[in-house]
Each structure stands twice: as C-alpha cells, then as structure tokens.
Structure 1
Amino acid sequence: MNRIMLFTLAVALTACGKSPPAETVEALAANPTRLKELREQCKTDRAKVGDELCNRAAEATNRRFFGDGKTPYTPPKEQPKF
C-alpha cells in the first residue's frame, strides 16, 4: 500500500512541474514571422513572455543572422583596392 501511495505522489509531483516552451530555437529560426512577433512581445513585456522564451528568440535571431557556422570564411583571391 505504501508503494502505491509513493508512486502516486511521485506521479503527481512530476505532473506539476514546469513544462518547457513548445517553441525551439530551430523552429523559431525557420519561422521568421513568429520570430518577429515574439521579439516584439519580448521588447514590450518580457516578464509576461518569460526569460526562457525570449532567450530562445534571441538565439534564433543570432542563428538567422550568423548562419549555422558550418560555412568557412573564404577571403577573396585579389586584395581589395581602396
């Protein structure tokens, strides 16, 4: 009987935990309209949106701007003429 109560308590406490935001960095980076509206919401009311989601939006913006980091830098063969 005690094992059943302990198991029930563990399940109840697990269900009450904070769930992570459904939007991942990859999903936000792939959807620029959602990313734009989320960035606006973070600017106006960050406390309501939440720090974790705003940080994900910032990381998605960085990934869209900088790329995935897999493309190496290749300088031009000729020197620029100023």
Structure 2
Amino acid sequence: MRTSSLWVILALLGGCGSGAPPQPMPEQTPSLSAELVEELVRDPERLKEVRRLCREDWQAISEELCIASVQATRRRFMGDGGARYTSGPIELSEPGRPTLKE
C-alpha cells in the first residue's frame, strides 16, 4: 500500500513542470543619459520638481527621467565616490593609537 501511494505521489509531482520555455528577464534599467544625470545634479530645483512628478504620476513621465532623477539624488547625497573626510595620511603616534596629521 505504501509503495503504491509513493508512486502515485511521484507521478503527480513529475507532471507539475511547466511546458512553456522560461521567459527572458526584461532589462532592469534602460540606458541612462549621463548628461541628463549631470544636468539634474547641477540644478537642485529641477531635480526636486522631477522627483515630485515621479512620485505623483510616474507613468506620465518617462521612465528614463525618473531613473535619472534617482541617480542624481544619489550622486548629490553620496558624492562622486572620492574620500573627502581625510585630508591626508594617518600617522601613528603610539602603537595602535591613530591620530590625524594636521
């Protein structure tokens, strides 16, 4: 009895596969115009307006403009990636105690 129910379960599970081939993933982000991102970084008022419009009705605005506004906001907040908080190398005055060079 147990073996026959096991075979029935295996047969049912074997038929669960989908016959359709897997669909390719759509491209997540369209190619962004670097000039558009730079323009929004330089003009914070326009960036603020574009962000507001994207929040209210993103379907009416182009997807590229909304993505560019997110990239510009990130660049304004995070910067260009360069370290700006350390002015120079750190010198060790005592072993294990770092101090900043002035």
Give the share of equivalent positions with the same residue, in percent: 44
Counterpart of 1:37 (choices 38, 42, 49) is: 49
Greater displacement, 65-74 / 42-51: 65-74
Residue number in structure 2 paired with 1:24: 36
What pairs up with 1:1-82 in 2 under 5 angstroms? 24-71=36-83, 74=86, 77=98
Quick one: which amino acid aligns to residue 68 of structure 1? D
Could you tell me how far 1:25 is from its partner in structure 2? 0.2
Please list every run of 5 or more consecutive structure 1 residues that lacks an aligned counterpart in the other structure.
1-19
The CA deviation at 1:70 is: 1.8
Larger helix fraction of residues:
1
Instruction: Give the Å deviation of 1:57.
Output: 0.2
Aligned alpha-carbon RMSD (Å): 2.5
Scaled by the length of structure 1, the TM-score of the pair is 0.59
In structure 2, distance between residues paired with 1:73 and 1:51: 35
Equivalent pairs, count = 57
Counterpart CA distance in 2 for 1:46 and 1:66 is 24
Highest RCO, 1 vs 2 (Cα 8 Å, sep ≥ 6)? 1
Q: Output the amino acid matched with 1:58.
A: V
Consecutive aligned runs of 4 or more in structure 1 exceeding 6 Å deviation: none
Q: Distance in 2 between matches of 1:36 and 1:51?
A: 16
